[in-house]
Structure 1
Amino acid sequence: MDITVTVERPEEGPGSGPIQVGWFLTSDKNAVLYDPPERVSFRQTNRTHAKSASRCPGVIQLESRYFMVKCPFDLHIGFRREENGKPVLINRAGTASPVRSGKLNEMLTLVNEAEWRYPDRPTVQLGLPYCFIADELVYITQLSPFMHYRPDPLPGTIFGGRFPVSVWPRPLMWAFEWHEPQKDIILKRGEPLFYAQFEGMDPARPVQVVEAERTPELATYLEQIGGVVNYVNQTFGLFKAAEALRPKKLLTPKTRG
């Protein structure tokens, strides 16, 4: 005998409707450079045929669960070692670079060689002001923009990561493991930099990403948990302590006047 179990979701309250995730920039400085995250969607494709991949429910479900963050500026970076063996980054664009060298050094860093996963693969980090929050348990997974084709592949792989934005909102970064440091890293403004996937307790619920207000409560909480990675290892062990400090509500959608 077949038994069908239907799980009813509440029409109101926690667990109802779409999962709402907020995004904001941690600073207004140069905010015009940073585009809002976009849902990954290939709408301008062939949808005339009933069997087109653009109309496949499985494909649509997959695409709808990823949000894209675009590269904010053009970068052309090389790698070399100085005579004393010290690894350094080179701004290949030189004076033609749209980003001044001083500013580039503030945003792009070469991780200390002792912290590389492999001795022959430098790790580069690009600091970004993007931050995501939620008022229910939601995990973010940051990963490579695998659905967008690059005619000239990057000479390495993106460091992924997964953590709960509901408890541990923190500015994201683009971290790159340079498998072929003899080849340059070339990034263009407007091209996909990485994807963000969000998971709640119910995988069937859709996700809605909205711009969030930087409220005083949110600012205080970010201050309380910010920078601890510099002082302790295994920061996931601080989640319970962070929950004790966390206000009940962090996400206030931004209203446009």
Structure 2
Amino acid sequence: MNWDEYFADDQETRSAQASRDKKRTVTVGWLIQAAKASVLFTPPKLFSRNDPKAASSKSVQNCPAAVDFDRRHFVISVPIDLTLHFERQPNGQLSLKDANGEKSGIREQGLKELLMLHPQNEWRHPERPLIQIVSPYVFIADDPCFIVQTAPYLHYFDEQRPGVQMGGRFPIHIWPRPVSWGFEWHDVSKPLKLKRGDPWFYVRFETENPSARVRLVEQEKTPELDKYISNISDVSKFVNQTYSLFSEAQRTRPETLVKAKKD
């Protein structure tokens, strides 16, 4: 007998059994953590395609791997119409402007509350400005679960955005914080156009059981959750490595935080 193959098969059997023992469905709560204008932000939507009926059983629409991949993405939509561009000042500095000027649908004060241009020493490249737009979406789970935030790469855009969206991944069962939208602007000669209702970014979720489904529910704003979020909010202003605080946050976490909002 080949003992290496025997133990490998045994390990695969135990791993498969462990996966079966873990939850097949994980509930994730979502809420809008915004003091103002929360109605601008629409509920996350499960990604779907509007493809014609498959002409063949071998069509990509019937591919189990492709279907399973698609259905694990949730779409967050752009909240406002916005066109931004850069102007280079006489001293060489870049200045971020609302390209629509007086015709813009958003007031200057509102834009300042929503948008941040990071200082140059925080950019990854000296010629690629980094901007951040406030996103008040918060996700929370009681079971071990990581959120993964990505650009909307499953959608096709006639006009591509002039840079790269910053991705992110963190544990929402420990660290339920807003998922901000960061954008690294590669071609400053081109404007960034965002249209309300278009895909803004995706979120998907990693669970202990890789085959588990995620059930997304609107979260009730409970006192327990408010207190927990308050304990971890804005800590990045005081420490650089927030991941080092996960164990302390988990120690103080109530056993249950997810509570679906009643209709």
TM-score, length basis structure 2: 0.91
Q: Identity, % of aligned pairs?
A: 39
Match of 1:35 among 38, 42, 45: 42
Give CA deviations for 1:28-52 in whole Å, capped at 9, x if unaligned.
6222211111111115432353222
* Residue 99 of structure 2 is aligned to residue 92 of structure 1: yes
User: Structure 1 counterpart of 2:201, which letter?
Assistant: F
Q: Give the structure 1 partner of residue 187 of structure 2.
A: 180
Match of 2:256 among 234, 249, 253: 249
- Counterpart contact for 2:146–2:173, Cα < 8 Å: yes
Q: Give the structure 1 partner of residue 166 of structure 2.
A: 159
* Residue 120 of structure 2 is aligned to residue 113 of structure 1: yes
Give CA deviations for 1:146-172 in whole Å, capped at 9, x if unaligned.
010011101100000110011001011
* Residue 190 of structure 2 is aligned to residue 205 of structure 1: no
| Superposed structure 1 runs of 4+ greater than 6 Å apart | none
- Counterpart contact for 1:25–1:129, Cα < 8 Å: yes
How do 1:1-257 residues align onto structure 2 when only pairs under 5 Å count? Answer: 5=13, 6-7=16-17, 9-10=20-21, 15-27=22-34, 29-256=36-263
User: Structure 2 counterpart of 1:244, which letter?
Assistant: R
The 1-side partners of 2:42 and 2:35 are apart by 13
The 1-side partners of 2:260 and 2:129 are apart by 39
Give the superposition deviation at 1:65.
0.9
The 1-side partners of 2:81 and 2:220 are apart by 29
- Counterpart contact for 1:21–1:209, Cα < 8 Å: yes
- Counterpart contact for 2:46–2:74, Cα < 8 Å: yes
* RMSD, aligned α-carbons: 1.7
- Aligned with 1:7: secondary structure? helix
The 2-side partners of 1:28 and 1:51 are apart by 50
- Counterpart contact for 2:24–2:211, Cα < 8 Å: no
The 2-side partners of 1:45 and 1:100 are apart by 42
The 1-side partners of 2:37 and 2:218 are apart by 17
Give CA deviations for 1:65-120 in whole Å, capped at 9, x if unaligned.
11110100111000123233443211001122111111011101111111101000
TM-score, length basis structure 1: 0.93
Unaligned runs of 5+ in 1: none
Count residues with an aligned counterpart.
Answer: 252
Look at both structures and tell me which one has the larger radius of gyration over its CA atoms.
2
